Chains A and B, each alone.
Chain A
Amino acid sequence: MTKTIKNVICTFCGTLCDDLEVDVTDDGKKILQVRNACAIGAEKYLHVGNPGRVVVPRMRQADGTYKDISYDEAIDFTAKTLLKAKKPLFYGWSSTNCEAISAGNVLAEKTGGVIDNCATVCHGSSLLAIQDTGVPSCTLGEVKNRADRIIFWGCNPAHAHPRHMSRYSIFPRGFFTAKGQKGRKIICVDCRETDTAKVADTFVRIKQSYDYEIIDAFRTVLRGEEIPAEVGGVPAEKIKEVIEILKSGRFVTLFFGMGLTHTLGRNHNIDEAINFIRDLNDYTKAVLIAMRGHYNVTGAGQVLGWQYGYPFACDLSRLTMARHNPGETTSVDLLVRHEVDACVVIASDLAAHFPFEATRVMASIPTITIDPHISMSTELSDLHIPVAIVGVEVGGCCYRMDNVPIETRKCVDAPEGVLEDEELFNRITKRVDEILAENGVKDASEYLAKLEQET
């Protein structure tokens, strides 16, 4: 016998599709089949039962081999490591639920750490631009129901967000968009012809890193001013044509990805894009939405926002106030300047994505990685604590790329004994409290002062 769990939320990308159907065995232990998911999402569910899963914490030995230890030992090691550190870094959070992020923030505040999430190497520049300029946006359902002009800029949902185009942006028929794709004009701006560009009505191929100039030209044309015959590899006629398409629309949506946030100009590109959309509102309705990658990177920023007031790169090391100064309190900068003396990588893979120098520093300081899988980060860590997989073995809240929160569902049991992220953090915090009490000190700064006195 099998049972089918419906309306399962896919915890792969920021699209957070919520219509998956998962067949599981009657005992709730094994996933048999996944329907409605994209290839990547389906694999996330189907690979859970694969052999070789790490189910107990692993401590690295002096000779480089790993030794299995108990969760209690792992928790004790983590608590002591964090308390001994002057400024521990808590990086990641984008592939776990908001409950775990919240519990982790409590631990970071207790131990005077810096909390940063994947936005720091992803849409952090978008967030900086939003801090400068604002953000005219909407939910994805609005796009489905109203948008007749869609721009994909520096993103390739055909590969990175496989069901985005069918659920929200190109193909779906909505209330005011009964013709689906036929009623929409799709524009793709990119420096290469991606698979997304192939389904677009208009492809604007630009010279790499000329995004700012192109948007600026768009804004100039929109205001009725003249531009040079060619900007960033795009003829003026093409730019004027695109602007005419947009102005004639009723509802314009700009989706943008790493191709815009990480080309030359970074946050200034987004700043310009936001102002372009703002300008377009003089003619028609226009909004923009960031193509957030990990399924809950948005939620990581949300929780940090309501608890400490900043979406990423939040420094709690003063224990009395939260600080946010990108360039100073961002993970890569902290690592390459050797400002952090311990590191917790949680629900993401620092080593796979950070510059080599930052990764090298991470490998040289005490590092604990909390992740269900083996990754480059776990292999460079002193301790790897496995946890249950959110959206497959644990429920909890996650935020879609348009900031809509959705409760994920548990489909199968986690391997016996494997903890959930939230519980793990609560237990580490409890152990930190115990150590502080044992030493008769009230917070991490007093503990450090005591340690220094003793040595």
Chain B
Amino acid sequence: MTEYIIKNGHVFDAVTGHKGDVADVCMKDGKIVDKVSNSATVIDATGKTVMGGALDVHTHVAGPKVNLGRWYRPEDKFRLGERCSAKIDPKTKIEGGFSIPTVYKTGYEYARMGFAFLMEAAMPPLYSRHTHEEIRDTPIVDEAAMPVFGNNWFMFEYLKNGEIDNAAAYVAWMLRQTKGYGIKCVNPGGSEAWAWGLNCMTVNDPVPYFEITPKEIIAGLITTNEELHLPHSVHLHSNNLGNPGNYTTTLDSLKIAEDFKPNNNFGRKTVLHHTHIQFHSYGGTGWGDFESKSKEVMDYVNKTPQISIDSGSVTLDETTTMTADGPFEYHLGALNHLKWGNVDVELETSSGVVPYVYDPKVKVCDIQWAIGLEVPLFAADPMRTMITTDHPNAGPFTRYPRLYAWLMDKKYRDDLLNSFKYATKVIDATYLAEIDREISLYELSQMTRAGPAQVLGLSGSMGGLAPGMNANVAIYNINPDNMQKGIELENAFARSAYFFKDGVKVVENGVVLDADPVVKKTYWVNAKVPENKQVMHDINEKFLKYYSVNLDNYEVIDHYVPHQEIIEV
């Protein structure tokens, strides 16, 4: 394999402690190394920024709801101005879509921005084959997917009875069956209630028939997660998403983590990851007095080391919302009267898909936008605060560069804030105008590289440039000594000067080169537990009586996951 040495770049890396100082980065055989031979290809990064490959801790890029979004939104491919469809290079495949791009575009666009790893944030277990088929076809980037457990009938029973060993055995079995990565929990109890058209709006609302509360589900899942020593913490999308005044539900959910300590060998320091917290940081009693409560939420996050979050920042685009929170999507559909897609999955979860326009002329959308920026700007610990758009819910992932530019350039975001039709009202309802902080390149490397790697339990191989780590390196045309501002900064992040994936040069000057030599890997966690006859009996019985497929036809076989990176626990 070709050796590379990247010379004279300004390196930003929380793992090795580089804060923009000029240093060389060497790559050999797919790994970062201390030094290379004289035959190494030299990449001159003078006046450029060098970082590890980025990780997206929460994104929806593969699976049934994503594909429903593609199916039912032909209009999403018509934005040629956003390069929806134009093929750039004959060696690449045809790309399409804006908010729900095709798998090819997903892989290429993430690579262009310097991303090496994506976490598909919600995989319905019954549809895990589909998710893996899409992951298999997504080029370049490594991926993993988290099966959902927050509305699973088995978990309800085990957690209600306090049978943590059984819950752990079941989760371990499910991770093996689905080739999944960790425990995802979406609207605990509420998605099951949706099967009867109902919901759980607080952490104390009992789930119909199962008589367990969201609070008990979250606590039980955290206990199970730590019992299994999984690399990632419980990944929570809490109840009452998107409603005015919901920050109290969020705080109630976060407080559950106080009683727990991390228990793992992956360097993970948290027990709960609360995702897209922007959607959960709302004050007010209705859309009229809707306001930001990001400070209240982030104050709590900042003082609670067991919690990590990602932002779910709104990008003010037309997009396609999709979540395993079925009742939320129904309510959103009732709110905007656009298309409503819904799929309830037997014994496991529900989900919904609804297009949404975050219109800058609408006050509520602008307040949401401001909250999405306030969350990272209020972060005391960038290693526990990640930047996401909850792609595509708050905006497409292709807007990350714009998001970075807003966070790194106060004038850029203030100019937009002041341009809003209801600017005064938006400013009154939010904190953004008062915040002077600008995220530094080093902090950005923490929020997009070292932080997510640590939170996901992947810090041994990703998120940094220490020797031995995977040779994922992004080089941007950004000179820290004379930083670009605004749109120029955005453009520099959107199209990396170079991106190396596992030591293979994939992108040069923003153009994807031949992606074929890159082996993209799927990560999954093989958690070993003692044989549990009770759980296997329960599984057999439920499959026989209540599933619509046989147990023997449930497992995702290796054929669907050709390049596996198995994390043994």
Using a CB–CB cutoff of 8 Å, the interface residues on chain A facing chain B are 6-7, 9, 18-19, 98, 102, 109, 127, 130-142, 144-146, 167-168, 173-176, 250-251, 278, 281, 284-285, 287, 301-303, 305-311, 316, 319-322, 324, 395, 397, 399, 403-407, 442-443
Q: In residues 534-560 of chain B, which contact A (Cβ within 8 Å)? A: 545-550, 552-553, 557, 559-560
Residues of A within 8 A of B552 (CB): 6-7
Question: Given A130, A321, A322, which contacts B71 in the complex, CB threshold below 8 Å?
Answer: A130
Pick 30 A–B contacts, CB within 8 A, sort by A: A7-B552, A9-B553, A19-B550, A130-B72, A130-B339, A133-B339, A133-B340, A134-B72, A134-B340, A138-B195, A138-B344, A138-B346, A141-B346, A141-B547, A144-B346, A146-B195, A168-B548, A175-B153, A175-B546, A251-B196, A302-B130, A305-B71, A306-B103, A307-B102, A320-B86, A320-B94, A395-B559, A404-B549, A405-B127, A407-B553
- Given the complex of chains A and B, what is the CA–CA distance between A378 and B70 in angstroms? 34
Known: A144-B548, A443-B90. 11 other contacts (CB 8 A): A132-B339, A134-B342, A138-B343, A141-B126, A141-B548, A142-B346, A306-B67, A306-B70, A319-B87, A321-B94, A405-B130
Closest residue of chain A to B97 (Cβ to Cβ) is A309
Closest to A326 in B: B74
Question: Please, which residues of chain A bring their CB within 8 A of the CB of B484?
Answer: none
Q: Which residues of A contact B333 (CB under 8 A)?
A: 134, 278
Decide if B104 touches A307 in the complex (CB within 8 Å).
yes
B129 close to chain A: CB less than 8 A: yes
Shortest Cβ distance from A310 into B: residue: B74
A134–B195 Cα distance when bound, in Å, is 18
A307-B546 contact given A302-B67, A321-B94, CB 8 Å threshold: no
B21 on the A face (CB < 8 A): no
For the complex formed, measure the closest distance between the CB of A128 and the CB atoms of chain B, giving whole angstroms: 9
Do B133 and A98 touch across chains, with their CB atoms under 8 A apart?
yes
B353 within 8 A of A: yes
Contacts A102-B137, A139-B126, A311-B71; is A134 near B550 (CB within 8 Å)? Answer: no
Residue pair A321, B70 in contact (C-beta under 8 Å):
no
Residues on the B chain within 8 Å of A319, using CB: 87, 94
Question: Do A407 and B129 touch (CB < 8 A)?
Answer: yes
Taking CB atoms, residues of chain B closer than 8 Å to A305 are: 67, 70-71
Q: Within the assembled complex, what's the spacing in Å between the Cα atoms of A141 and B68?
A: 19
Tell me the minimal C-beta distance from B390 to chain A in angstroms: 20
Residues of B within 8 A of A6 (CB): 552
Given the known A-B contacts A141-B548, A142-B345, A403-B130, are A322 and B77 also in contact in the complex, defined by CB atoms under 8 Å? Answer: yes
Is B330 in contact with chain A by the CB < 8 A criterion?
yes
User: Which listed residue, B84, B87, B129, B545, touches A405 by the CB 8 Å rule?
Assistant: B129
Docked-complex contact A18 and B133, CB < 8 angstroms: no
Contact of B77 (CB < 8 Å), options: A102, A144, A309, A406: A309
Chain B 183-200 interface 0/1 with A at a Cβ cutoff of 8 Å (1 = within) = 000000000001111000
Closest 10 CB pairs of A and B: A141-B346, A134-B339, A321-B85, A141-B548, A138-B344, A320-B87, A136-B342, A405-B129, A285-B197, A134-B340
| CB neighbours of B209 from chain A (8 A) | 176
Given A139-B344, A404-B548, A301 contacting B94 (CB threshold 8 A): no
Bound state CA distance, A397 and B73, in angstroms?
25
**Bound-complex Cα distance A406 to B129 (A):** 8
Q: In angstroms, how far is the closest chain A Cβ from the Cβ of B458? A: 25
Shortest distance from the beta carbon of B212 to any chain A beta carbon, whole Å: 16
Q: Which residue of A lies closest to B62 (CB)?
A: A306
Interface residues on B, range: 35 or more
User: A397 contacts B133, CB within 8 Å?
Assistant: yes
Q: A139-B346, A302-B130, A307-B102 are in contact. Are A322 and B72 (CB under 8 A)?
A: no
Shortest distance in angstroms between B95's beta carbon and chain A's nearest beta carbon?
A: 8
What's the nearest-Cβ distance from chain A to residue B93, in Å? 7
For A408, the closest partner residue in chain B by CB is: B553
- Residues of chain A within 8 A (CB-CB) of B72 are 130-131, 134-135
Contact (Cβ within 8 A) B341 A135: yes
A324 / chain B contacts, CB cutoff of 8 Å: 74, 77
The residue on A at minimum CB distance from B104 is A307
Question: Considering the chains assembled together, what is the distance between the CA atoms of A379 and B561 in angstroms?
Answer: 39
Smallest CB gap from B68: residue in A: A135
**Chain B residues whose C-beta falls within 8 Å of the C-beta of A145 in the assembled complex:** 346-347, 546
> Which residues in B have their C-beta under 8 angstroms from that of A131?
71-74, 339
Contacts of A175 in B (CB 8 A): 153, 545-546
Contacting residue for B340 out of A109, A136, A316, CB 8 A: A136
The residues in B between 109 and 164 inclusive whose CB is less than 8 angstroms from any CB of A are 126-127, 129-130, 133-134, 137, 153
A127 to chain B, nearest CB (A): 7
- B96 interface residue, CB < 8 Å from A? yes
Q: Which residues of chain A have C-beta atoms less than 8 A from B127's C-beta?
A: 403-405
CB proximity of A228 to chain B, nearest CB, Å: 28
Given A7-B553, A136-B340, A285-B197, A301 and B102 touching (CB < 8 A)? no
- Give the CA-CA distance A301 to B66 in the complex, in Å: 13
Q: A284: which B residues are within 8 A, CB to CB?
A: 197
Q: Tell me if B64 counts as interface (CB < 8 A to partner A).
A: yes
On chain A, the residues within 8 Å of B557 by CB distance are 407
Q: A145-B346, A281-B330 are in contact. Are A321 and B87 (CB under 8 A)?
A: yes
Query: In this complex, what residue of A is CB-closest to B548?
Result: A141
CA distance A284 to B196 in the complex (A): 7
B226 sits at the interface (CB 8 A): no
Are the C-beta atoms of A316 and B94 separated by less than 8 Å?
A: yes
Partner of A309, one of B76, B194, B345, B354: B76
User: A308 contacts which chain B residues (CB < 8 A)?
Assistant: 94, 96, 102
Residue of A nearest to B93 (CB): A109
CB neighbours (8 Å) of A278 from chain B are 333, 340
Q: Which of A133, A134, A144, A303 is in CB contact (< 8 Å) with B353? A: A134
Determine which of B94, B195, B338, B341 lies in contact with A109 in the assembled complex, contact meaning CB atoms within 8 Å.
B94
Q: Which of B76, B84, B97, B195 has the most CB of A within 10 A?
A: B195
- Encode B205-217 as 1/0 by CB contact (under 8 A) with A: 0000100000000
Separation of A455 and B102 alpha carbons in the complex (Å)? 39
A137-B550 in contact given A322-B77, A405-B129, A443-B90 (Cβ < 8 Å): no
Complex Cα distance, B69 from A309, in Å, reads 9
Q: Is the Cβ of A142 less than 8 Å from the Cβ of B195?
A: yes
On chain A, the residues within 8 Å of B560 by CB distance are 397
B339 near A306 (CB under 8 angstroms)?
A: no
Please name all residues of chain A whose beta carbon is closer than 8 Å to the beta carbon of B101 when the two chains form the complex: 309
Q: Which residues of B contact A407 (CB under 8 A)?
A: 129, 553, 557, 559
CB distance from A443 to the nearest CB of B (A): 6
B126: which A residues are within 8 A, CB to CB?
139, 141, 404
Are B74 and A174 interface neighbours, CB within 8 A? Answer: no
- The smallest C-beta distance from B322 to any residue of chain A, in angstroms, reads 12
Residues of A with C-beta under 8 A to B330: 281
A127 and B71: CB pair below 8 A?
yes
Q: Which B298-351 residues have a C-beta within 8 angstroms of A? A: 330, 333, 338-347, 350
Complex Cα gap A133–B73 (Å): 10
Q: Which of A6, A250, A251, A403 has the most CB of B within 10 A?
A: A403
Report how far A303 CA is from B102 CA in the complex, Å. 10
Contact A309 B553 (CB under 8 A): no
Which one of B86, B137, B338, B545 contacts A306 once the chains associate, using CB atoms below 8 Å?
B137
Cα A138 to Cα B333 in complex, Å, equals 17
- Distance between A297 CB and nearest chain B CB, rounded to angstroms: 13
CA distance A173 to B418 in the complex (A): 60
Flag if B550 contacts A7 (CB, 8 Å).
yes
Contact assessment for B102 and A306 in the assembled complex, using a CB-CB cutoff below 8 Å:
yes
- Once the chains are docked, how many angstroms separate the CA of A450 from the CA of B431? 63
Whole-angstrom distance between the alpha carbons of A454 and B96 in the complex? 35
With A102-B137, A307-B137 in contact, is A287–B344 under 8 Å at CB? yes
Which residues of A lie under 8 Å from residue B559 when comparing CB positions?
A: 395, 407
Give the residue name and chain of the A residue nearest to B106 (CB): A306
Chain B contacts for A311, CB-based, 8 A: 71
In Å, the complex CA distance between A299 and B11 comes to 46
Inside 8 A of A285's CB, which chain B residues have their CB?
Answer: 194-197
Q: With both chains docked as a complex, state the minimum distance between the C-beta of A77 and any C-beta of chain B, in angstroms.
A: 26
